[in-house]
Structure 1
Amino acid sequence: MKRSACAFVLILALLTVTGCRPRTILSVAGLQSLSELTLLDRTDQSVPVPDPAPFTEAFLRATLEPRGRDLNLAVGTADYQLVAGDNRFYYFLDRAAGVRGHLVYVDGRNRQHVYRAELDALILRVWRAARPPLPEVPGLQWRVGAPNQEVAAWALALAEVKYPVAYLLEHGAETVMVFAAGPKTGTTYTVRVQEMARVNEALVVTFRLEGPSPPISGAVSHPHTVLTFNGRVGAVVARTTDGHKVQEWPVIPMTADQNVVLLHPLAGSLLTGRVTLTGKARVAGGDLSVEIEDGHNVLAQASFRATRAAPVWGDFELQLRLRPHTNLSGAIIFFTGSAQLGNRQELLLVPIVFAGGK
């Protein structure tokens, strides 16, 4: 026992003499410094860091978090990402006064290396200097960003869409708008608000897609932005511009407890003989059913499974052929269970209309 203790003391002494220190988060990533650095927030909006030297110093001062393996931080909900070449670091603000945030690096074996770092002031300085002023609308207060991490994670999941779309969610006394720009292959883009104004009682929000910054070879990103408004905003129009062309995109209202989203067709759409339904679902087991009815008869029905099950969002796409309708208006109804078993639970009803006469 004494011999083991002596050996341990000797090893510590040798480490001290030879100058061995715990690895820095930069050395874990195979870096000596940060020569180029880009800062991204939770909505994938990015700004280049003009002088990475202070960040290099902060990274070198970061200390290993002893509880790192137990924290199991979800990097997709990090407050900020710092991209240096092919390396990506994730920073979580710690809002307790005087406590440093968590800086995370995920290595090639998908292991998290968690450090404590002081980056708040540096990030705020870069962000304020680089971002243009936000548009002002009389009588409307708003900000970029989600009200909490739960909504940020919800927005991140719903941003994985094939085509641009906006979601409008009533969250307590606030209204949250998520604009998803669709997939971008090979690069990371950012979405920013270019214009916002009241037009004929509607709030018109114009977004601009910027990129690539920085290029990430082979990656597929789903750029999006989250806006939080104080109070209700009424009717909303979402559109994008590239400086020349302006294009309008669907706005889908949602509730906080909604577990099915129909992306196509939209409410009020005109249906013909064959219909393709695409959307997202968050249901137990991923299993749900759908009916299309005209108020008198069921014209089509199917049971299907989303690509993923609750608690995460999965995708679905299916085609249905409609039987002849007897009424010009109807609905698409998503549900779980069945009426025969007495456990049918309707999840979403989307009103639609049918083409042609009765």
Structure 2
Amino acid sequence: MITKIKKAIQYFSVRCYELKISIKEFRRGSKLSSDAFESFYKNGMLVEVHSVEKGLGLKNTKPGHSSKPVTNLINKMFGYIGRGYDPTDFAFKETYRVIAAYIEYQKEFDTSKFPEFAEIERKFNVLTQQLDSNLVASIKDDLNGGAHIVPLKELLHGKDFDVQSFFKTRHSIRMYQKMPLNQSDIQKAVEIANMSPSACNRQPNKVYFTSECETVKQIDDLITGSSGFKGETPNYIIVTTDRACFMKEEQYQWYINGGIYLSYLTLALHSLGIGNCIMQWKAFYRTENKLKELLGISSHEAIIAVVGCGYYQGDTKCIYAQRKAVSDTLHIVGVSDAE
């Protein structure tokens, strides 16, 4: 009887802790603060403009499609400017460019059969006149919008690369040269990682990097997961995802988007000859506020992971970390016609 009571108490304690974490996630996902609402506003535009761009990428895009969301987005851009938000931010420029591509596409057809088009074009022209001409020119020069045809040869290019061997040569590295990474290498790794897919192309992730000795030492003292090799890591990366980029029905999606980005980033580092080790971050770990304050991370950003990294010191001792067999992971449902 006593054993059953102890188990019940233990179970209740675990569930209470999980509830505590969920409540904290709920509070940190609030859009009430001004900076969180700004992120929410911008990413609302990205979600909606992504649906417009997807329409332009369909096999048979109908003339006049998406007139309501396009009208709504133009109104949101006026609101964006009215709120004093930065028009050079990616969210605004991406929205502007896709709508410009949308208007260009509609002009390929008889717009007289699309009564809403004249008003859409008029309002967009009014918006354009309110923007700096250099900004408008740079948006058109630097960004692409809409859809394009990708040659099959390009799509199949991945088959020319031995990705399995590449993945096999990536290990969790815990010993590095005692030197900072070149900023050009970090910039290149982030450029590669930014190609990772994200929900509605929101790209809600941020990367915080430091090789400054005192900051690295402080991170060493604040993080978990580095037991046994503290003081051995010369560079740290902290990957975060902004909770304010997601809507109410997307609870915890920030961890999925952040996890995808993290995978791309660590493989990008490996491709540049940079060893790395992912250290899992416990949600709302006791030192989280100190770590965020140290690196200037906002309260509504979720810490996805801490990544220690550095140049290889030479032949390196690594654990095997044996992987499961395919049969342990893959479950094929039904039988394909090919069989």
Structure number with bigger Rg: 1
Shared fold, TM over 0.5: no
Query: TM-score of the superposition, structure 1-length normalised?
Result: 0.27
| Higher helix proportion | 2
Query: Bigger relative contact order, structure 1 or 2, given CA contacts below 8 A and separation 6+?
Result: 2
| Higher strand proportion | 1
Query: TM-score of the superposition, structure 2-length normalised?
Result: 0.29
